[in-house]
């Protein structure tokens, strides 16, 4: 067990260093210069030498005037002090501050929609696999849902429920006439604004999970062990439980990976419903060569994916006896 964990942790640490290095490197390979973008519109009256002075000043401020290797070392030094730098696109906001403000919106939107869609999708898929009538209905619907371009579905939802029926707002995380307070009015307003973006994410995810689960269950029910159990005269319930337990494994991996990238936000949702979040900022950061914000976002994405993977490893020990057995064999 310990050996298994030590090895895993070592691999994850190595992956982390490598991934973060790439994360640091890639923005710097992009064509463009963050400070020039920052100063681009200072045209009012300043002459060329003044702009050069401003450029030098800001370059020094961000440490971008140093040789690359020095910048790289400084990056790690700052990272271990918990300092992700200052965003150039949202100057002078520290990157950590940008993330702290934007990520809660994504979590509020994505965690419930991912979990609920996963839960509902798997169950519907499992049921559909056993019921011909349901299968004939759920399967085509799920295929349509997963194949729907998300942008299109979102705009359709916003247009129909937001503009035609006027049931839901089409922009913002809460009314533009409200200030956040601890009141029912505010909480209800928050949920009211949350519903459409949530529903759009849920619908799309739901279809994907349902199809996956249905196919897995059918596969498992056809597997040798199911046939053997049937031949032994085991009750259908028991067989289905075994099938479900096996079929859920890849779905758990999928879920963890999906949760791991929450920090990347939900760009299209944010754009369609004008919902605040990190996706839109990340896009703007990339377009503006905001090295620090890009690094910060991807750092958390890397962490998210690694942690998710690590959790899967742990969860598998619990849910998959084969993993446990493998470990025992290993240490023996």
Partner 1 sequence: MRKLALSVFTMLILASLLLAACGPATTPTPEKIIQTVEVEKRVIETQIVEVTPTGQVAPTTYPRNETLYVSGAAWGPASTWNPFQPGMLANTTGTIGLVYEFLFFYDPLTDKFIPWLAEKGAWTDPTTYEVTLRKGLTWSDGRPLTAEDVKFTLELGKKYPALWFSPLWTNTGLTDVTLVDETTLKLTFKDPLYQEWENYLFNLPIVPKHLWENRSEEDITTGANENPVGSGAYLYLTHAEDRNVWVRNENWWGIPIFGKPAPKYIVDIRTSSNNVALGMVVKGELDLSNNFLPGIATLAEKGYVKTFYEKAPYMLSANTAVLFLNTTKKPLDDAKFRRALAFAIDVPSIVNVAYANLVKAASPSGLLPTMSKYDDQEVIARLGYTFDTAKAKQMLADAGYKDVNGDGFVEAPDGSKIELQVTCPNGWTDWMAAIDIIASSAQAAGINIKAAYPDYGAWNTALQGGTFDMTLNNWAQMSNTPWTLYNLLFRHPIQEQMQAGNFGRYVNQQMFDLVDALARIPTTDETGMKAATSKIQELMLTEMPVIPLWYNGLWAQWTETTWTNWPNEKNPVSLPTTWSGYWQMGGLQTLINLKPAVQP
Member of 15, 71, 74, 93 binding partner 1 (CB under 8 A): 93
Q: Does the footprint of partner 1 cover residue 129 (CB under 8 A)?
A: no
Dihedrals phi, psi of 64, to nearest 5 degrees: -90, 0
Please give the torsion angle defined by the CA atoms of residues 19, 25, 26 and 28, in that order, rounded to the nearest 10 degrees: 160
Task: Tell me how far apart the alpha carbons of residues 38 and 36 are, in angstroms, rounded to a whole number.
Answer: 5
End-to-end CA distance of the chain: 11
- Identify which range of 13-21, 67-75, 92-100, 324-332 contacts partner 1 by CB under 8 A: 92-100
Member of 44, 231, 232, 332 binding partner 1 (CB under 8 A): 44
Tell me how many residues contact partner 1 (CB under 8 A).
Answer: 88
Q: Does the footprint of partner 1 cover residue 170 (CB under 8 A)?
A: yes
Q: How many residues does the chain have?
A: 332
Output the six-digit token pair for 137: 């209905």
Q: Does the footprint of partner 1 cover residue 105 (CB under 8 A)?
A: yes
CB of 133 to partner 1, least distance (A): 24
Binding mask 259-298 for partner 1 (x = CB under 8 A): -----------xxxxxxx---xx--x-xxxx---------
Footprint (CB under 8 A) of partner 1, residues 171-200:
171-183, 185-187, 190, 194
Output the six-digit token pair for 236: 């259908």
Member of 55, 209, 292, 298 binding partner 1 (CB under 8 A): 55
CB of 106 to partner 1, least distance (A): 9
Q: Does the footprint of partner 1 cover residue 167 (CB under 8 A)?
A: no
- With respect to partner 1, which residue has the nearer C-beta, 58 or 75? 58
209 with 114: CB under 8 angstroms? no
Question: What one-character-per-residue DSSP string does 256-321 give?
Answer: HHHHHTGGG--HHHHHHTT--SHHHHHHHHHHTT-HHHHHHHHHHHHHHHHHHHHHHHHHHHHH-H
130 with 217: CB under 8 angstroms? yes
- Identify which range of 97-105, 129-137, 230-238, 303-311 contacts partner 1 by CB under 8 A: 97-105
Member of 52, 70, 136, 236 binding partner 1 (CB under 8 A): 52
Q: Which candidate, 300, 264, 302, places its Cα nearest to that of 283? A: 264
The answer to whether the bond into 92 is cis (omega within 30° of 0) is yes
Q: Which candidate, 109, 112, 137, 113, places its Cα nearest to that of 124? A: 137
Q: Does the footprint of partner 1 cover residue 41 (CB under 8 A)?
A: yes
- Identify which range of 3-11, 17-25, 41-49, 322-330 contacts partner 1 by CB under 8 A: 41-49
CB of 198 to partner 1, least distance (A): 11
Q: Does the footprint of partner 1 cover residue 160 (CB under 8 A)?
A: no
- With respect to partner 1, which residue has the nearer C-beta, 15 or 148? 148
Beta bridge partners of 86: 94
Footprint (CB under 8 A) of partner 1, residues 207-246:
245
CB of 167 to partner 1, least distance (A): 12
270 with 276: CB under 8 angstroms? yes
Member of 108, 206, 298, 300 binding partner 1 (CB under 8 A): 108
Q: What is the CA radius of gyration of the chain?
A: 25
Member of 9, 10, 18, 40 binding partner 1 (CB under 8 A): 40
CB of 34 to partner 1, least distance (A): 8
Task: Tell me how far apart the alpha carbons of residues 98 and 92 are, in angstroms, rounded to a whole number.
Answer: 10
Q: Does the footprint of partner 1 cover residue 25 (CB under 8 A)?
A: no
Q: Does the footprint of partner 1 cover residue 36 (CB under 8 A)?
A: yes
Q: Does the footprint of partner 1 cover residue 314 (CB under 8 A)?
A: no
Count of CA atoms in the C-beta half-sphere (13 A) of 94: 9
């Amino acid at each position: 067990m310990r050996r298994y964990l030590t090895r895993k942790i070592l691999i994850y640490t190595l992956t982390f260093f490598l991934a973060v290095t790439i994360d640091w490197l890639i923005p710097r390979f992009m064509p463009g210069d963050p400070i020039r973008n920052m100063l681009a519109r200072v045209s009012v009256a300043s002459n060329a030498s003044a702009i050069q002075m401003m450029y030098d000043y800001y370059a020094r401020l961000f440490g971008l005037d140093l040789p690359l290797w020095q910048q790289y070392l400084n990056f790690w030094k700052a990272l271990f002090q918990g300092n992700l730098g200052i965003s150039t696109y949202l100057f002078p906001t520290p990157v950590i501050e940008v993330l702290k403000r934007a990520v809660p919106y994504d979590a509020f939107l994505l965690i419930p929609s991912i979990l609920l869609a996963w839960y509902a999708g798997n169950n519907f898929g499992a049921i559909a696999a056993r019921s011909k009538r349901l299968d004939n209905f759920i399967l085509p619907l799920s295929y349509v849902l997963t194949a729907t371009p998300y942008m299109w579905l979102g705009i359709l939802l916003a247009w129909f429920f937001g503009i035609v029926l006027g049931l839901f707002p089409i922009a913002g995380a809460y009314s533009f006439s409200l200030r956040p307070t601890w009141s029912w009015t505010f909480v209800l307003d928050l949920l009211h604004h949350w519903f459409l973006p949530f529903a759009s994410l849920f619908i799309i995810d739901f279809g994907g999970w349902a199809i996956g689960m249905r196919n897995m269950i059918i596969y498992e029910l056809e597997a040798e062990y199911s046939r053997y159990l049937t031949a032994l005269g085991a009750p259908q319930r028991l067989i289905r439980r075994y099938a479900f337990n096996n079929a859920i494994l890849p779905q758990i991996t999928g879920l963890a990976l999906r949760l791991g990238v929450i920090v990347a936000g939900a760009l299209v949702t944010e754009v369609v419903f004008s919902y605040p979040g990190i996706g839109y900022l990340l896009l703007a950061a990339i377009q503006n060569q905001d090295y620090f914000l890009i690094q910060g976002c991807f750092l958390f994405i890397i962490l998210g994916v690694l942690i998710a993977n690590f959790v899967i490893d742990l969860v598998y020990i619990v849910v998959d006896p084969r993993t446990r057995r493998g470990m025992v064999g290993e240490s023996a």
